[in-house]
Every structure is written in C-alpha cells, then in structure tokens.
Amino acid sequence: MLARRYPAITVATAFLLVGCGVPAPEAACEEVVAAFADWLLRCDPGADRALTWEAAERYATGGLGCRATVSIRDERALRDECLPAFPSLACEAATLPAACEDQLVLE
C-alpha cells in the first residue's frame, strides 16, 4: 500500500537492496513477495505477517526462495502493470494480474 501512495519507496527499496549487495532480480522478487504478502494481509488482517511473507515467497518462487531468481522476464510489465495492481486487487480475485505471470526466472 505504501508503494502505491509513495512509489519512490519501492524504487528506493530496490536501490537500497541492490546497494547492499542484493542482486537486482532478487530485489525485484522481494518486491513481488511484499506486494503479494501485503495483498494477503489486507484480505486477512488477522494473519501472521511472517508466516504470510513465507507463504507468499514459497508461492512466488515455487519454494525456491528469492535467492533463486536470476532475472525478470519483463521488468517493465512487472513495474508498470503487475506491482501497481496489487493494492486494488479484490480479495476475492481467483487469479493474479496477467502481467504478474511467470515474471520471476528462477535457477
């Protein structure tokens, strides 16, 4: 939700992660996981944040974790369409936005 109100925070977070030695694809993966986890928590406010984050990362990476992310399929679609869609995504949504599909290329 902060990313929607303050898009610079998402960009700054990515730069901070990259600046701290986290590879750009891994940082992008963590942004996807954060957006997904925030959506899940918005839809289930009583859920445990740490467990929700872990579940979101397992789902997004097929259990491999963000460290297994080697590249992003279409970074422009990820940043312009996928990530911005999460704050307004209905809790009843059965599928994620098409721009989010297969974005993380894993080892």
Digit-coded pLDDT (tens) for 19-54: 455 669 999 999 999 999 999 999 999 999 999 999
C-alpha dist (Å) from residue 29 to 46, 79, 105: 25, 11, 10
Number of structural domains, the chain? Answer: 1
> 106 - beta bridge partners?
69
Q: Tell me the whole-structure pTM to 2 decimals.
A: 0.76
Residue 61: domain span: 2-90+97-106
- Residues with Cβ < 8 Å from 42, sequence gap 6 or more? 1, 91
